Amino acid sequence: MLNKIIYIIIGFALAFVFFPRTSQDSLRAGIVSGSISNISSNQVITAPEIATNITPPNLSAKAALVYDLGSGSILYSKNLDEKLPIASLTKLMTALIVAGHVGFEDIVSIRKNDQTIIGASMGLMVGEKIQVQNLLRGMLISSSNDAALALANFTATTPEAFVQMMNDRAVSLGLTATKFANPIGWDSDDNYSNTLDLVKISQEFLKDPMLSEIVQTKETVVASVDGKYVHKLLTTNKLLLENPEIRGIKTGFTSKALGNLMILSDYNNRQIITIVLGSQNREVDSQELLNWTLRAYKW
The model's confidence at residue 281, banded by pLDDT at 50, 70 and 90, is very high
- Asked whether 238 and 142 are in contact (CB, 8 A), the reply is no
The model's confidence at residue 9, banded by pLDDT at 50, 70 and 90, is very low
- pLDDT at 117 (0 to 100): 73
φ, ψ for residue 41, nearest 5 deg: -70, -25
199-225: per-residue pLDDT in tens?
999 999 999 999 999 999 999 999 999
109-118: per-residue pLDDT in tens?
999 988 777 7
Give the residue-averaged pLDDT of 221-246: 97
The model's confidence at residue 44, banded by pLDDT at 50, 70 and 90, is low
Is pLDDT at 37 greater than 50 in this prediction? no
The secondary structure of 163-198 as a DSSP string is HHHHHHHHHHTT-SS-B-S-SS----TT-BB-HHHH
Is pLDDT at 7 greater than 80 in this prediction? no
Give the residue-averaged pLDDT of 19-44: 36
Lowest mean pLDDT among 40-49, 135-144, 265-274: 40-49
Q: How far apart are CA 123 and CA 230, in angstroms?
A: 9
Is pLDDT at 87 greater than 50 in this prediction? yes
Q: How far apart are CA 265 and CA 269, in angstroms?
A: 9
Q: How far apart are CA 213 and CA 142, in angstroms?
A: 14
Domains and CATH numbers, the chain: 63-298 (3.40.710.10)
Give the residue-averaged pLDDT of 229-234: 98
The model's confidence at residue 269, banded by pLDDT at 50, 70 and 90, is confident
Is pLDDT at 86 greater than 90 in this prediction? yes
- Asked whether 233 and 252 are in contact (CB, 8 A), the reply is no
Query: Which percentage of the chain shows pLDDT scores above 90?
Result: 76
90-123: per-residue pLDDT in tens?
999 999 999 999 999 999 999 998 877 778 899 9
- pLDDT at 43 (0 to 100): 60
**Higher-scoring residue by pLDDT: 170, 26:** 170
Q: Are strands 63-68 and 270-279 parallel, antiparallel or unpaired?
A: antiparallel
Q: How far apart are CA 57 and CA 288, in angstroms?
A: 6
Give the residue-averaged pLDDT of 147-158: 95
Is pLDDT at 3 greater than 50 in this prediction? no
Give the residue-averaged pLDDT of 287-291: 96
pTM of the entire structure? 0.85
- pLDDT at 291 (0 to 100): 95
